[in-house]
Structure 1
Amino acid sequence: MITTLRFTMLFAAALCAAGCGSDDEPAGSGTPGTGATTSSQASSGTGSGSSSGSGGSGSGGTGTGGDVTTTVVVNEISAKGSDWIELGNPGSAAADLGGFGLCDSDATGLCNTGDALRFPEGTELGPGEYLLVLGDQAVEVGPGPHTTCLAEGPSSCFYATWKVSASRGETVFLISPNDHVLNQLEYPMEAAADGQTWGRLPDLTGQGGVTAPTPGAANAAP
C-alpha cells in the first residue's frame, strides 16, 4: 500500500512539473487594456461644434506622430468669388508650419491628403498673425510663398490646387507632417452669400459664422 501511494504521488508531481493551473486563468501573459491605437484622420463632422475648434495649446511642430500640436487654426474660408483660406495663430508664440498640410474634404468627408498643400520648411506664423492660401491654382506653380496674391490681402500667400465647394459644402483641415488632423473648419452647404465668407467669430477662437471678407486681418461680422 505505502509503495503504491508513493508511486502515485511521484507520478502526480511529475505531471505538475509540466504546468498545473486553474481553468479560469487567461491563456496569454499580456495585460488587457494597455494597448493604444491612433487614427491618422478625424471625421469632418457635420456641425460647427468643438471639432472645429483649436487643435491644441502647444506651439506648432512639437512632438512626433499623434503628439504633434499647434495653436494655428483654420480661421476664414472664401468659397464664392475669390477662393481662399486664412489661417491664424491665437497663441503666444510663433508656430512652425514646415511640413504641415492644408486640405479640403474628399467624398467621405475626410482630408484629401493626396492633394494637400504642404508648407515648405521654415514656414512660421507669429502670434496673432494670419496666413493666406489661394485656392484653385496650377499645380506646376508650387506652394510658394508667392507675391501674386489678393489685391485686398497680404503681400505674401501660398497656393493650393483645390477649392472649397460652396454648393456642396466642405471641411478644410490643417494636418501634421504625418497627416494627423490638428484643426478643421466646416464650410456648410451654401453657408455664405456672394461677397461674404465663413469664419470664426470671435476671431481665431469662436465657431464658424457668416463674416465679411477680411483676408489677412481679424474676422468681422458682415
Structure 2
Amino acid sequence: MTSMPVGCPTPGAASQNHPADEIARELACSYPVVDLAADGYLTGADGRAVAAQMREPQLSAALRLGRCSGTNDTDSFYRREDEEASEWYGRREQTLARYCTPCPVAAACLELALRYPEEPQDLAVRGGAAEEEQLALGREEADRLAAAVICDRGPDEQRARRLDAAREVQTLARTRIGFSVPVKYRKQNHADTLAAAYRFKKLTAEHRRATGWAA
C-alpha cells in the first residue's frame, strides 16, 4: 500500500496513547482510503476510531466510495417538508438498511457529518446515524470534534506560514544592500536576514518531519 502523509493527530483519547488509538492513528496515516474501505476499516466501532484520526480530505475522498455515491435518491436521506414523523421514521429505517448498513465507509461519512454538521433543521441520515443520534454524538464528542477541525485547517495554515517566511527572506535579501548603504544598516539587515532564514528553515524542517520526508 502507498503511504499517506501523516496528518495532525486528533487530540483527545488518542493523545493518551491507548493501544487501540495508536493502531487507529497508524491505519489512518499509513494507508490509502480505498484500501481502508476495502479491508473493512471504515465501518463499525473500529471504523469510527480510524475515521476520528483522518483529515477532512481523506473523509471527503471516502464518501466517493460510499454505497450512496452517485445515487439520485437523495430524497431518502431527508425528511420531507410537512412529512409526518411516523412516515419519516419508516422511510429512514429503509434508508439505513439499504444504504448505511452495507456501506464500506459509513464511519467516515458519520465522522464528516459530526465534524461539519448542518443546521439541526437540515440534518439527514448520515453514516448509519439518524438526526437525533448525530446531535447526541455531537454534544458528547464536542471537544474532540473541535480539535479535529483545528487539525484539518493545520496544513493550510502551516503552508501559509512557510510561504510568509520565505517571502520575508527574499524581501530582506533584496533590501539595504550595496556599499551605498551605511555599514550599520547593512549589518542589521544581514542579522535580520539570517534570523528570517532560520525561521524558514525551522518551519520547513518541522513540515518535513511531520510528513515523513526526514527522520
Name the structure where helix makes up a greater proportion of residues: 2
Structure 1 or 2, whichever has the larger Rg, is 1
Q: TM-score, normalised by structure 1?
A: 0.21
Determine which structure has the larger strand proportion and give its number. Answer: 1
Give the TM-score normalised by structure 2.
Answer: 0.22
